[in-house]
Amino acid sequence: MKNTTLRLLAILFAFAMVAAACGDSDDDSGGDSGSEADAGDGGDAPAAGGGDFEDVTIDYWLWDGNQQPFYEQCAADFTANVQPGITVNIEQFGWGDYWTGLTAAFASDSAPDVFTDHLARYPEFVESGVLVSLNEFVERDGVDVDQYFPGLAELWTSPDGERFGLPKDFDTIAMVLNTDMLDEAGITLEDFANAEWNPTDGGTWGELIQRLTVDANGVRGNEDGFDPSNVAVYGFGIEGAFGAFGQTTFSSFAASNGYVATDGPWADSANFDSPELIETLQFFADWIEAGYVTPIEDVESLGGTTIFQSGGAATQTNGSWMISTLSGDATEVPVAYAPLPVGPEGARASMFNGLADSITQSAENPDAAWEWVKYMASPACQDVVGTGAVVFPAIPSAATIAQEAHAANGVDVGAFTIHVDEGTTFLFPITDSASRIEDIMGPVMQQILRGEGTAADLIPPAAEQVNQVLGS
């Protein structure tokens, strides 16, 4: 009796252990064979010469629903004209779900073959070794990485020279203006295009913002008797939570003040404690307090763009990917765009960010995945995306198509492209541990904008924490 019992228990535990062992060995071999396979494939591939595929399905993820129809078009063209043996299956998720789903998929080694990658995320993927290096593919097929806007391709190269994505698009930042409110205040687009900003008194840009601010009694921000505690229209609307790098919020202002977030990509320290940043942050906190800028609590609960679109703010800064949303047919406020103000350093500054497509280690057929990535990074697909007028493709000729498509819709997007034309862009700061940094800086920014402390007091300890994370 006891023997049977023991035997059964032994079987049971053996089962559990086998399951456990399977888990381990599979995980290991999964990772190993993945990298071996692609080294091997890379070696074989030149002979195959990007050869033929049969019944291969590539899973591709993206988060921007507005772009999905154009990538569907690309996928159809790709299967019809380029690789009849490869079918592309596109899945779209909202921004939040996208990264959670991707993380879970990586954890269980079931990630899509190819996905739209973001500069804030990819260093962590590189560190974890879940992306396939594209070097051999690029070399083999002689892809010209100089065909993109300068700097975009390099963003996707790790310090040891491995390339993990091919650029698909780029984005810049500009001022978004409610023209009705500008007219009421007697301000022209040129006024904004020529505006200068500084963190001390806001400069001429600040004067414009004050004039655009109206309190509940109709008194403007530059007039006597303005009541900052009862504002009807804020002159400037913060786009969203500041976060660590403030792409659409403070980054343009801080950079035009001389702030450089990191000394180059993958730096092992960041410059959060720089006085130029602290001044800039304090400027926004003070101007919220003074009633010219939207309170951060409102922005967090409603979204900065909603506030702008519902007339709660006369202007905001926003990214070029929002043009179609902001200028769409059904929006209620008339919108125009102006370049960012010129800062104390004598120039405008827009963050220059770009997305790329990466191949994962989970890809069963990295060669086929590469064919799709290569196609998306080629003029054939980027022209299609350009006609969509949702984003600016990474290839200049395709970006021109996008600009023309915008113009055909009656939207002048020159305020976004001027930063590229005049070379007044700075690159998205690429760091490893970006989510840790976000976790440290995000709450501090919230505190500063809530007036719970000054930037000068709150930033230095957080900056030190960030440098500890980066240094380790």
Site for another protein in 201-260 (CB under 8 A): 240-241, 243
User: Which CB, 148 or 245, lies closer to another protein?
Assistant: 245
User: Which CB, 26 or 36, lies closer to another protein?
Assistant: 26
User: Which CB, 224 or 332, lies closer to another protein?
Assistant: 332
By the rule CB under 8 A, 358 interacts with another protein: no
Q: Is 93 left (phi over 0), alpha (psi -120 to 50) or beta?
A: beta
Q: Do the Cβ atoms of 147 and 132 come closer than 8 Å?
A: no
| 59-98 footprint of another protein as x/- string (CB under 8 A) | --x---xx-xx---------------------x-xxxxx-
What are the distances in angstroms from CA 105 to CA 108, 185, 195, 350, 360? 5, 52, 47, 34, 11
- Give me the least distance between CB of 296 and another protein, in Å please: 8
- Give me the least distance between CB of 310 and another protein, in Å please: 6
Of the candidate residues 110, 188, 397, 468, the single one contacting another protein (CB under 8 A): 110
Pairing type for strands 114-117 and 335-338 reads unpaired
Task: Give the integer Cα–Cα distance in Å for 284 and 304.
Answer: 14
| 309-348 footprint of another protein as x/- string (CB under 8 A) | xx-----------x--x--xxxxx----------------
- Give me the least distance between CB of 49 and another protein, in Å please: 32
Residues 402-441 that bind another protein (CB under 8 A): 433, 435-436, 438-439
DSSP state string for 200-223: TT-HHHHHHHHHH-EETTS-BTTS
Total residues in contact with another protein, by rule CB under 8 A: 78
Residue 40 tokens read as 């091997």
Q: Do the Cβ atoms of 327 and 99 come closer than 8 Å?
A: no
Task: Give the integer Cα–Cα distance in Å for 472 and 466.
Answer: 10
Using the rule CB under 8 A, give the single segment among 3-11, 197-205, 369-377, 396-404 that binds another protein.
3-11
Q: Provide the residue count of the chain.
A: 472
**Non-local CB neighbours of 48 within 8 Å, separated by 6+ positions:** 367
User: Which CB, 65 or 334, lies closer to another protein?
Assistant: 65
Of the candidate residues 75, 86, 105, 185, the single one contacting another protein (CB under 8 A): 105
Task: Give the integer Cα–Cα distance in Å for 293 and 282.
Answer: 12
Of the candidate residues 106, 148, 149, 192, the single one contacting another protein (CB under 8 A): 106
Pairing type for strands 114-117 and 56-62 reads parallel
Residue 287 tokens read as 């101007």
Looking at residue 230, its amino acid is: N
- Give me the least distance between CB of 181 and another protein, in Å please: 18
By the rule CB under 8 A, 1 interacts with another protein: yes
* Residue 346: other Cβ atoms inside 10 A: 9
User: Which CB, 111 or 134, lies closer to another protein?
Assistant: 111
Residues 26-45 that bind another protein (CB under 8 A): 26-28, 30-31
By the rule CB under 8 A, 14 interacts with another protein: no
By the rule CB under 8 A, 190 interacts with another protein: no
By the rule CB under 8 A, 387 interacts with another protein: no
Tokens 């190819």 belong to which residue?
114
Q: What is the CA radius of gyration of the chain?
A: 25
User: Which CB, 127 or 144, lies closer to another protein?
Assistant: 127
Of the candidate residues 22, 39, 48, 76, the single one contacting another protein (CB under 8 A): 22
Q: Do the Cβ atoms of 307 and 237 come closer than 8 Å?
A: yes
In a 13 Å sphere around the CA of 380, the CA atoms on its Cβ side amount to 17
User: Which CB, 101 or 199, lies closer to another protein?
Assistant: 101
**Non-local CB neighbours of 57 within 8 Å, separated by 6+ positions:** 86, 87, 88, 89
Of the candidate residues 104, 216, 407, 408, the single one contacting another protein (CB under 8 A): 104
User: Which CB, 200 or 230, lies closer to another protein?
Assistant: 230
Using the rule CB under 8 A, give the single segment among 43-51, 197-205, 291-299, 424-432 that binds another protein.
291-299
User: Which CB, 97 or 464, lies closer to another protein?
Assistant: 97
Tokens 């998205």 belong to which residue?
428
Please list the residues that pair with 220 across neighbouring strands: 214
User: Which CB, 203 or 240, lies closer to another protein?
Assistant: 240
User: Which CB, 8 or 48, lies closer to another protein?
Assistant: 8
Using the rule CB under 8 A, give the single segment among 166-174, 263-271, 279-287, 301-309 that binds another protein.
301-309
Of the candidate residues 130, 278, 355, 470, the single one contacting another protein (CB under 8 A): 130
Pairing type for strands 425-427 and 350-359 reads parallel
